[in-house]
Amino acid sequence: MNGGGRAPAAMRRRHEARLAAVQGLYQLDLAGGDPAEVAREIVEHRPPDAPPLEEAWLRKVLVGAWTARARLDPEIAAVLAEGWTLPRLGAVTRAILRAGAYELAELVEVPVRVVINEYVEITHLFAAGGEPAFVHAVLDRLAGKFRRSGEDA
């Protein structure tokens, strides 16, 4: 029983890392820069009362998603509804989709439903209306491209 509280705490630290990675990807999309440096700045400048985050996961997702964007952006664009393009999306939505696409494509140890749920939850923090459903649909389509059919559905 002594480990009962650790899993939720670890999940929360990873959630905070994903949120910080989205914020870093947003910053890189608008201003450019070095993703490793942005990750370092995020960690160093977190308010003392901010929830703890898993620093290694922040770096993995932020650096990985930014580095892989030339490969992943066309995959994201290919599953957008007709008439939509990646540049037409807001920078926050692009950041969320890039992070989610990276996890689906490269971090296959994370179940599809976890990736989708996490990034939909993050979308709810930034947007109302149809954005969370939009992110869910896009990540679901990407999961079908990046993961074997039926895997952890």
Query: Is the whole-model pTM more than 0.75?
Result: yes
Of 21-25, 84-88, 149-153, minimum mean pLDDT range: 149-153
What DSSP element (H or E) covers 47?
Answer: none
Cβ(99)–Cβ(15) under 8 Å?
no
Q: What pLDDT does residue 149 have? A: 53
For residue 148, which phi and psi values (nearest 5 degrees)?
Answer: -60, 145
- SS3 state of residue 48: coil
Domain boundaries along the sequence of the chain: 6-146
Q: Which fold has domain 6-146?
A: N-utilizing Substance Protein B Homolog; Chain A (1.10.940)
Query: Over the stretch 86-140, which tens digit does the pLDDT of each residue have?
Result: 999 999 999 999 999 999 999 999 999 999 999 999 999 998 889 999 999 999 9
